[in-house]
Amino acid sequence: MKVVLLEGLGVSEQVIEQHARKLESMGHTFVAYPKNTDPLVQAEWSRDADVIMLANMPLAPVVLEEAKNLKFIDVAFTGVDHIPMAEAKQRGIAVSNASGYATQAVAELCVSFMIQLLRNVGKTEERCRNGGTKDGLVGCELQGKTVGSLYVMPGCAKRVAALCKAFGCSVLAYNRSTVSDPAIDEQVSLEELLKRSDIVSLHCPLTADTKGMIGKDQLALMKKSALLINTARGGVLDSAALADALEKGEIAGAACDVFETEPPLPTDHPLLHCPNTIVTPHIAFASVESMEQRADIVFNNLYSWLDGKQVNAV
């Protein structure tokens, strides 16, 4: 088999070389390329590949069209909305992901966003750097707040719920199926969750059903004192509607780590210029520990598939 890695995995060259040697000792060929988003370049590099490995770089449909021998796509990421899944399914190409690798990293950043917004960290830091004080910016504690989590699933959402419970929060959940999690106090409708929550945290995949699920009408249901956190997928949220709600003071603040497109963002993106907003360029999943765990998972996916036992199948 020829295995082609189309982008770096955020670990040392020594780790990649170790796996390359192992694959070669098993009789396979391993080739690693630097990240290149040009579909034609991707197609050329993948033309004779049996296996493609990549992280969150979009994989163009033309790559699958050109890779006639392709049998397995090994995704070092949780979401697969950047993969042409319909084409893969039609071709019978197996796809596995690295679900769970960044659970702790995402959850920690999510809770830190809550605390930073509640305590006005951004504003008070700016004051401090300019010789000012905290006057008029004394914030609130996370303890005692009601946190609403959308689409509670194994992984990040449950870990966030557990951390929030440790801080003394009440946790509401909205999910189409019944949630079984001791950290959840109550499962409610989406409308009730939005109305009751002090903090709404998004934890849902981007699908046809969830695309734009939080827009103008949903934001209007939230408390004026409420915060919105998005560490899920950018397309779940209507950025223009959120920016408008923030500008009008219809909600108190927001933190977004994900957007409709991968950063770098255009400088006129509406969420870059809103009050009481934290924006980060998709960093939630990226920690030293999570990158190491991701590499372990994605190579284990590969070895299991080569052994005829697909794991983490999408």
Mean pLDDT by 10-residue block, N- to C-terminus, for the chain (314 residues)?
A: 97 96 98 96 98 96 97 94 95 96 96 98 97 97 97 83 97 92 95 98 90 97 98 95 98 97 95 97 95 97 98 96
DSSP codes, 75-141 = ESSS--TTS-HHHHHHHT-EEE--TTTTHHHHHHHHHHHHHHHHTTHHHHHHHHHTT---TT-----
282 carries an active-site annotation: yes
Closest CA to 252 of 158, 118, 116: 118
Structure tokens of 3?
A: 């295995």
Amino acid in the structure at residue 264: P
| Per-residue pLDDT tens digits for 47-72 | 999 999 999 999 999 999 999 999 99
Pick the catalytic residue: 262, 269, 289, 292?
262
DSSP codes, 212-258 = T-BSHHHHHHS-TT-EEEE-S-GGGB-HHHHHHHHHTTSSSEEEES-
233 carries an active-site annotation: yes
Other CB atoms within a 10 A radius of the CB of residue 166 amount to: 12
Pick the catalytic residue: 19, 159, 203, 233?
233
pLDDT for 115? 98
pLDDT for 179? 87
125 carries an active-site annotation: no
| Per-residue pLDDT tens digits for 5-40 | 999 999 999 999 999 999 999 999 999 999 999 999
| Per-residue pLDDT tens digits for 121-131 | 999 999 999 99
> How far apart are alpha carbons 238 and 244 in whole angstroms?
10
pLDDT for 79? 85
Pick the catalytic residue: 119, 192, 282, 292?
282
